[in-house]
Amino acid sequence: MAGEVTISGAKNAAVAIIPAAILVKGKCVIENVPRIKDVDVLIDMLRSLGATAEFQGETTLVVDATGINKCCAPYEMVRKMRASYYLIGALLGRFLKADVAMPGGCNFGSRPIDQHIKGFEALGAYVSRDAGVIIAEADHLTGTNIYLDVVSVGATINIMLAAVLADGITTIENAAKEPHVVDIANFLNAMGAQVKGAGTDLIRITGVPALRGGTYSIIPDQIEAGTFMVAAAATQGNVLVKNVIPKHMESVSAKLAEIGATVEEYDDSIRVIGSPVIHKANIKTLPYPGFPTDMQPQMVVLLSIAEGTSMVVEGVWDSRFQYVDELERLGANIRVDGKIAVIEGVDHLEGAPVRATDLRGGAGMVLAGLIAQGETTITDLQYIDRGYENMEGKFASLGADIKRIICDD
Ligand code: EPU
């Protein structure tokens, strides 16, 4: 695989920034929005609440939530995606009321939102559950100190959303430090909020009376970039991955260097040159700046053809190895015990029919298909389409033999 690929805007930033626009009375011009299914679903959600949301050109989305007249997001609407929980923080922050069904999304075992609720309650909301619907209401929201018991990206962002218009100062301790947490804070600040400390484990939000419209450009997608970097390493390729922030890629770059790839960093791009021999490696996924859980399946695919035995420990989710059964169909030799996978490197993978079990597992299957000898067909592409923009087109432009087949049934 050789050539250049341009990375799209970050999915996990976009799926929070679009709901965050609910807090703004005025036009938010959001640039570098990835054209993925999760974004389409969120746009539909915002429109059904009474906002306007239109693309201007390919990747600039203009949202005006001034006219929102509903605080209710029913199950039919939210079941398709996890990030719909950001509607709770945003609607509560602006209208002091949110009525949102429990979200769907990829299944990695239990996905509680207790820390989000703890934060809303600390700000003064009364939160109840009724038949799978979260109802949050408040007379007013008042800044306070919130200590997160677990480092949660979603809870950190959701509490920021609920707190930007609250009275006084809110602090979030043990906050998540992911690049997209910083991106949401920067978006809110561009609209007039006062959020400081994002990117550290202590975030301080001084409530402001209102947010106004403005323009903001979403950061590049760390995980899409990592997926192409791993693809280059796994196929002995030479790929320049453009529109990235190399700092966000440090844990992935370091691991790729460890397995023997050459990684060259430039200002806003990274070149990865794969080596014929892939060395074994051990990985534990952790919150940022640790190795990202959302890159775990892609790395396991790479290690499945490494020399020797590697161990991967999933440190974030209870159950994120469902895709391994599919990978074994291609000839990988992996033993999973709970949150640990032991990978005996094999000489090569053989093409076979597999399915995407979830978004990143699906990305792993595409990588596996690219390195396998013979043909691999992957079904359940709806998972991949949730979070990757034109994945097959980008791989094809690097010389991969990959195409999407539309089936009638
Ligand atoms: N957790 C709790 N209580 C909570 C919230 C989280 O116990 O109230 C636990 C979770 O069970 C998990 C850990 O804390 O064990 C981390 O969860 P976190 O809240 O950080 O995850 P999230 O916000 O639901 C986001 C991404 C995921 C990514 C994780 C971890 C979005 C929409 N999703 O999920 O991305 O895996 O952070 O980095 O931002 C993906 O893109 O494929 C994806 C799944």
* CB hemisphere CA count around 123 (13 angstroms): 37
Distance from Cα 329 to the centre of ligand 1, integer Å:
29
CA-based angle 158:162:168, to the nearest 5?
Answer: 130
Residue closest to 205 by CA, chosen among 263, 162, 148, 234:
162
Q: Which 8-state DSSP code applies to residue 200?
A: B
pLDDT of residue 148: 98
Given a contact cutoff of 8 angstroms between Cβ atoms, the answer to whether 346 and 333 are in contact is yes
Write the secondary structure of 27-56 as one string of H (helix), E (strand) and C (coil).
EEEEECCCCCHHHHHHHHHHHHHCCEEEEE
Q: What pLDDT does 77 receive?
A: 76
Q: How far is the CA of 153 from the centre of ligand 1 (A)?
A: 6
Q: Are strands 202-206 and 238-242 parallel, antiparallel or unpaired?
A: unpaired
CATH superfamily, with its number, for domain 222-397: Enolpyruvate transferase domain (3.65.10.10)
Name the residue type at position 404: R
* Residue 361 CB less than 6 A away from ligand 1: no
Domain 10-217 in CATH 3.65.10.10? yes
**348-380 tens-digit pLDDT:** 999 999 999 999 999 999 999 999 999 999 999
DSSP run (H or E) holding 384: helix 382-387
Atom 10 of ligand 1, nearest CA residue: 111
pLDDT tens for each residue of 207-245:
999 999 999 999 999 999 999 999 999 999 999 999 999
Taking residue 110's Cβ as centre, other Cβ atoms within 10 Å add up to: 8
Please state the domain extents for the chain: 10-217, 222-397
Q: Tell me the pLDDT tens digit for each residue of 129-138.
A: 888 889 999 9
The pLDDT > 90 percentage for the chain reads 90
- pLDDT tens sequence across 295-349: 999 999 999 999 999 999 999 999 899 999 999 999 999 999 999 999 999 999 9
Higher pLDDT, 366 or 110: 366
CA–CA gap between residue 315 and residue 337 (Å, rounded): 13
What phi and psi, each to the nearest 5 degrees, are found at residue 154?
A: -60, -45
Ligand 1 near 298 CB (within 6 A): no
Task: Output the CA 108–ligand 1 centroid distance in Å.
Answer: 10
- Helix-helix angle 179-190:11-20, to 10 degrees: 30
What average pLDDT does the chain have?
Answer: 95
Query: Which contacts of 126-134 are long-range, i.e. CB under 8 A and separated by 24 or more positions?
Result: 129/102, 132/75, 132/101, 132/102, 133/74, 133/75, 133/99, 133/100, 133/101, 133/102, 134/88, 134/98, 134/99, 134/100, 134/101, 134/102
Confidence band (pLDDT; 50, 70, 90) for 111? confident
Among 316, 318, 358, residue to substitute to test ligand 1 (most atoms within 8 Å of Cβ): 316
Beta carbon of 294 within 6 Å of any ligand 1 atom: yes
Tell me which residue has tokens 């949150």: 339
Q: Is the CB of residue 317 below 6 angstroms from any atom belonging to ligand 1?
A: yes
Please give the torsion angle defined by the CA atoms of residues 407, 361, 5 and 218, in that order, rounded to the nearest 10 degrees: 110
Confidence label for 105 from pLDDT (cuts 50, 70 and 90): low
Q: Return the pLDDT at 408.
A: 67
Parallel, antiparallel, or unpaired: how do β-strands 145-147 and 194-196 relate? Answer: unpaired
Q: Name the DSSP letter for residue 167.
A: B
Percentage of the chain surpassing pLDDT 70? 98
φ/ψ region of 127 (left if φ > 0, alpha if ψ in -120 to 50, else beta) reads beta
Catalytic residues: 106
> Which of 191, 229, 255, 329 minimizes the C-alpha distance to 7?
229
Q: What is the pLDDT of residues 249-298, one digit of tens each?
A: 999 999 999 999 999 999 999 999 999 999 999 999 999 999 999 999 99
Q: Do domains 10-217 and 222-397 have the same CATH topology?
A: yes
Banded pLDDT at 122 (limits 50, 70, 90): very high
Q: 314: Cβ–Cβ under 8 A, 6 or more apart, which residues?
A: 285, 293, 296, 320, 321, 339, 340, 341
pLDDT of 104: 62
Structure tokens at 249: 């890629």
In the 8-state DSSP scheme, what is residue 389? S
| Total-model pTM | 0.97
pLDDT band at residue 80 under the 50/70/90 scheme: confident
Distance CA 124, CA 143 (A): 9
